[in-house]
Amino acid sequence: MTQAAAPPAASRRQHDREIVALAVPAFGALVAEPLFVMADSAIVGHLGTAQLAGLGVASALLTTAVSIFVFLAYATTAAVARRVGAGDLPAAIRQGMDGIWLALILGVAVIAAVLPTAPALVEFFGASNTAAPHATTYLRISALGIPAMLVVLAATGVLRGLQDTRTPLYVAVAGFVANAALNAGLVYGAGLGIAGSAWGTVIAQCGMAAAYLVVVIRGARRHGASLRPDAVGIRSSAQAGAPLLVRTLSLRAVLMIATAVAARLGDADIAAHQIVLSLWSLLAFALDAIAIAGQAIIGRCLGAGDAQGARAACRRMVEWGIAVGVVLALLVVISRPVFLPLFTGDQVVKDAALPALLVVALSQPVCGIVFVLDGVLMGAGDGPYLARAMVLTLAVFAPAALLVPALGGGLTALWGAMTLMMVVRMLTLWLRARSGHWVVTGATR
């Protein structure tokens, strides 16, 4: 990253325009995703506490199952962007189709695993006797939409690789509106209760997948790319995604450990932790949007053989990450008096969350660097290094977090451990970016 001279003003402006053009729509699409669950919760909540509790358990299981396969978007973006940079659009779309076929195969496998085990999974997650039947119903029906959800991930990756983040935004907004309307109509209009909410989500997800497939298939026909499944290509997509799967599982383990430790600190601390974590996740959307731009731009530059351009883009995106991190930090500090009352009126919870929010604010510039470099290395197809770095980060974080209650620390100390985790990630990613080993040009890595 440090080997190229600083880009001239004209080059910086060009990078800025590209980053904004890709990141802003990507941010909108990312924010639309959690609105699905919020809409379901708002509608199901009026059915009763048991139904809402069941939805909470089932949604957590579904979110976990789908998020594990987010590599379908990341790996596909990088592979398609390289082909685009190399000027081979038919191969780019063919690469994307391999990712979509892999998504369908994985989706069918997940259905086969979830349907017979739904009651056991619900019980494992601690659903009460009154909530468990509703959770099982919702989980079994919603699982039918998992192939569509995974196709949406892969197809989103295809379009991002093609430097198009606007279409995913339009599809996400349309999907949210359709989901809300279908849920209201099926839950109350058709009287299906929580099953209606599940069917509404399945139909909306299938509609989104269909919209993506129409766009991708049109592109394939326009450029003469084959739509048939290719065993070699699907296997290659799986191999490229495997390291990112390890990275994602390690990151999920970090979040699970943090929640488990917070639960051991007491009811007020776990309540405060959920509030702080929700804000941390919201801030991550803004930073992840820049990372998505990084995946697309870096992949395209490397595919075009433009190593210097890739380094310059990396440097500029890091500057963006730091700047956005500083802005987010200031917003957190300023909005604390307004933000906390939205979630709780309990002063004990507020007192626990307040200093933790300051830690989150201070960590945002670090988070900005982490998200951007994560996106850069994903765009470069440097998945194996990302996997090793995240496993190392988990190995550092786990004992630090587990020592918090043992040493009498509270929620602020736990979020100090979370910040340590981000600092370790920043160091591992910065060292890789500085080494230049990620700069591998060509249509494939």
- Indicate if the pLDDT at residue 340 is higher than 90: no
Question: Quick one: pLDDT band at residue 164, thresholds 50, 70, 90?
Answer: very high
Q: Are 80 and 96 in contact (CB under 8 A)?
A: yes
- Indicate if the pLDDT at residue 2 is higher than 70: no
Q: Are 362 and 283 in contact (CB under 8 A)?
A: no
Among 48-62, 126-140, 264-278, 360-374, the range with the most confident prediction by mean pLDDT is 360-374
Question: Quick one: pLDDT band at residue 8, thresholds 50, 70, 90?
Answer: low
Cα 384 to Cα 288, 358, 394, distances in angstroms: 20, 34, 16
Dihedral (CA of 393, 396, 402, 403) sign: negative
- Indicate if the pLDDT at residue 434 is higher than 90: yes
What confidence score (pLDDT) does residue 61 get?
A: 84
Question: Quick one: pLDDT band at residue 414, thresholds 50, 70, 90?
Answer: very high
Among 263-267, 340-344, 346-350, 416-420, the range with the most confident prediction by mean pLDDT is 416-420
Task: Return the closest-CA partner of residue 380 out of 33, 73, 13, 79.
Answer: 79
Task: Return the closest-CA partner of residue 171 out of 159, 185, 186.
Answer: 159
Measured CA to CA, the distance from residue 205 to residue 111 in angstroms comes to: 15
Q: Which residue has the tokens 């026909």?
A: 221
What is the pTM (predicted TM-score) of this model? 0.88
333 burial class (0-12, 13-18, 19+ CB within 10 angstroms)?
Answer: middle
For Cα atoms 228, 33, 287, give the angle at the middle one, nearest 5 degrees: 100
Q: Are 212 and 206 in contact (CB under 8 A)?
A: no
Helix (H) and strand (E) counts in the chain: 14, 0
More confident residue, 37 or 134: 134
Q: Are 29 and 292 in contact (CB under 8 A)?
A: no
What amino acid occupies position 169?
A: L
- Indicate if the pLDDT at residue 404 is higher than 90: yes
Lowest model confidence (mean pLDDT) among 38-47, 116-125, 376-385: 38-47
What confidence score (pLDDT) does residue 426 get?
A: 97
Q: Are 299 and 440 in contact (CB under 8 A)?
A: no
Measured CA to CA, the distance from residue 255 to residue 104 in angstroms comes to: 28
